[in-house]
Chain A
Amino acid sequence: DQQVKQNSPSLSVQEGRISILNCDYTNSMFDYFLWYKKYPAEGPTFLISISSIKDKNEDGRFTVFLNKSAKHLSLHIVPSQPGDSAVYFCAASAQTGANNLFFGTGTRLTVIP
């Protein structure tokens, strides 16, 4: 029962262009969403998050958009850089405070120089 879904296993983007990674969820109790970036043989690294009371959060080149009615969020990276090439995981949790995260299956982003 995959409650967080990333339907695109991979994405290739030219350097300097925008990368858009998508994520859908099914549990309406989720109220906090995070994006993690993962390089091979390393643990996931936190990138950006958004609370369900917001619909947008921006941090430098990274922006996360949340559409609660559609149960959909997306991560925009602009401009994309070769160093952004990694696997990106969307994660969600059901309540604030320390609690377990539900992860998507990841999207492998390749930024072509």
Chain B
Amino acid sequence: NAGVMQNPRHLVRRRGQEARLRCSPMKGHSHVYWYRQLPEEGLKFMVYLQKENIIDESGMPKERFSAEFPKEGPSILRIQQVVRGDSAAYFCASSPLLAGVTNEQFFGPGTRLTVL
């Protein structure tokens, strides 16, 4: 009964490189969310996806960041030309197709990105 899986758990990149973060939602979940947590701050919403669709990307920086959730395979958060300010913990969450009366989202363990 695997929960939300994220890999890698830790990622180190130099300025200007690309970072790819992967998220496999819980079995049966078709909604994926990405959040970013900067040091000493709460989680900030970035993007909400369903299979092959971006539903809400209002929290995504306009440049260098992109996300996808293909029909097959994990969701990918891609950061191009990383800068030091991108250093943060990136959390993925998933929820079932019909969330019912709750908005509960199940979170993965996060990917800690460090930009040197």
Does residue A32 face the partner (Cβ distance < 8 Å to B)? yes
A40-88 contacts to B, CB under 8 A, are: 41-46, 49, 51
A44 near B91: Cβ-Cβ < 8 Å: yes
A44 near B103: Cβ-Cβ < 8 Å: no
* B97 CB contacts on chain A under 8 angstroms: 98
B41 near A105: Cβ-Cβ < 8 Å: yes
Does residue B48 face the partner (Cβ distance < 8 Å to A)? yes
B41 near A96: Cβ-Cβ < 8 Å: no
* Total B residues in contact with A, Cβ cutoff 8 Å: 30
* Total A residues in contact with B, Cβ cutoff 8 Å: 27
A49 near B99: Cβ-Cβ < 8 Å: no
Interface membership of chain B positions 73-116, coded 1 if the CB is closer than 8 angstroms to chain A and 0 otherwise:
00000000000000000010101110101111111111000000
* B12 CB contacts on chain A under 8 angstroms: none
B103 near A106: Cβ-Cβ < 8 Å: no
- Residue in A4, A32, A44, A100 with the greatest tally of chain B CB atoms within 10 Å: A100
B42 near A104: Cβ-Cβ < 8 Å: yes
* B95 CB contacts on chain A under 8 angstroms: 98
What are 9 pairs between A and B in contact, CB < 8 Å? A43-B91, A43-B93, A45-B107, A96-B99, A96-B103, A97-B99, A98-B31, A98-B103, A100-B59
Known: A44-B107, A100-B48. 7 other contacts (CB 8 A): A43-B107, A43-B109, A49-B104, A96-B103, A98-B31, A98-B105, A106-B42
